[in-house]
Structure formats: C-alpha cells, structure tokens
A and B are shown apart, each in its own frame.
Chain A
Amino acid sequence: MTTEKMHFEYPVEGGNFSAAGFPSSQVKKTLKQLNVDGNVIKRTVVALYEAEVNIVAHAFKGVIAVDIDTEKIHIRLTDEGPGIPDIKKAMEIGYSTATPEVREMGFGAGMGLSNMKTNADSLVITSEVGKGTIVEIINYFHK
C-alpha cells in the first residue's frame, strides 16, 4: 500500500444516467490497485454509487471529492439541488420521491440511503432545502 495521500474529484451531472457510475468505477479501479480488501472495496463502491445516483436522480449537479490515505477512504459528495427536508424519513426503506423517468432507469425503490448506511463505516448527511445536500462516507481499510 502506498504511503502517498491521493485526491480525486469528479463532476456529476443531474439527470445524466448514461454517465452515472463512471466515478464509482474509477474509485473501484484505484482501490484494487492499492490492494484494498475486496469486501471493503465492494462496500465502498456500492455506497458511493448509490450516493452518485442520488445526485443524478434528485439534484441538479454535484462534485465528488475522494481522499485516500493509508488507513481510509473519505468521500464527500456535494450537490446543488432541492435538498432533503426530512433526512430521517428519507432514510426509511421505501420512501422515495423519484420521478417516473428515474424509475424507468431502475432506481426509485427508496433503498439507496439505508443501503449506504449498511455499507459505510461512517455516513453523515447534511442538507439545506432549496440549496443542496452533502453526503460524507468514510470506510476504513483495516478494522
């Protein structure tokens, strides 16, 4: 494993489902190169991909900032969008405001946020209605 700190940033475009998944794919490749445990990689990219799709599905645009050091990966997704009025409610399985277009793409089951919680060692969501949402995911490479 490298001793260097790595930093990556990826833009995310709201509504663009064909591009969704590219950042998560890049992060997966990087973690593989660093020989991170396969289970940690899967947990990380599943949480990241769900968060990324949430920006595509529910917000206008966003940025994913990824920081990797020897012990952890820290991901911060910042979006400009409608925000989440009631985060506790949004975390409930089955709660979704997804549009028919989003459902047609295979999303909108209301399962993403709770699955992110399952797959992240730390998940912090802050949101301001009418402004946007910040999702922070931290996963540790060794437990």
Chain B
Amino acid sequence: MKILDIVDLIKGTVVSGSDNLEKTVDMAFASDLMSDVLTVKTDNLLLLTGLVNIQAIRTAEMADISCVVFVRNKKVTEEMIRIARENKITIIQSPYSMFKVSGILFSAGIKPVF
C-alpha cells in the first residue's frame, strides 16, 4: 500500500519524508518496546508506536524501517526530524489511538509480522 494512502486512512500529518509518499509498505509492527522492534527481521516495515523520542527514530534507522507512525499526535522534535531526514524515514503523526490505527491498517490489508 502506498504511504500516501496510509496517511489518508489514519488522518495523518506527514512531518518528515513528504517526498517518499509514493513508496509502498506491506507489513507493520506495533510496539512501544524498542528491543522488541529490533528483533523484527523484515525490512521496509511500518512501525506504529506511542513512544515518541529520538530512540524510536534510531531504532527505525538500525532496523531499516522506512516509515514510523506516531499515534495520538504526540510532539515530534526537530532533532527527531533531522535524524529521520538523514535516513529517509517517513514520519507520520495520527490523532488516532494505537488500537484504531492498527485496526484501520489491518482492515486495509497491511500484513502483521507475526
């Protein structure tokens, strides 16, 4: 599914990587535990998390995650955006909860990792 369409479905705001919206992701993982995220071997994953800090972006960088969705519109800092840009990671903020975003994306055909 195109990132563009994901943004639309979850009423998202793109805060980094607006030039990558034509790219696609097919699988997602939702967690606030970064060590759990780091066990996922799938590349080009969408990460859904309520943990909004630099380490969430660093985790995406190390795990080759191309798109991060932060739920509940939590504030993304300049430093997070800088690191995301440097690594071509798209950051999307959604006003919805983790449960709601998961449900929407699952119904739309995004596949779980496990």
Q: Which residues of A contact B (CB under 8 A)?
A: 17-18, 20-21, 24-25, 28, 38, 42, 45-46, 49-50, 53, 105-107, 109-112, 115, 118
Contacts and interface: CB of A to CB of B under 8 A. Distances in A.
B58 A24 contact: yes
| 4 nearest A-B residue pairs (beta carbon) | A21-B58, A111-B35, A106-B34, A106-B51
Contact of A42 (B56, B59, B62): B62
B5 interface: no
Interface residues of B, number: 22
From B54, B58, B63, B83, name the one whose CB has the most chain A CB atoms within 10 angstroms.
B58
Contacts of A17: 53-55
Given A21-B61, A45-B62, A115 B55 contact: no
Q: Name A's interface SS.
A: helix
Interface in B31-46: 32-36, 38-39, 43
A113 B38 CA distance: 11
Given A46-B63, A107-B33, 5 more contacts: A38-B43, A49-B62, A53-B34, A107-B34, A111-B35
Contact of B55 (A21, A28, A111): A21
A115 B58 contact: no
A31 to B, nearest CB: 12
Interface in B44-79: 49, 51, 53-56, 58-59, 61-64, 79
A109 B35 contact: yes
Nearest to B41: A42
Contacts of A49: 38, 58-59, 62
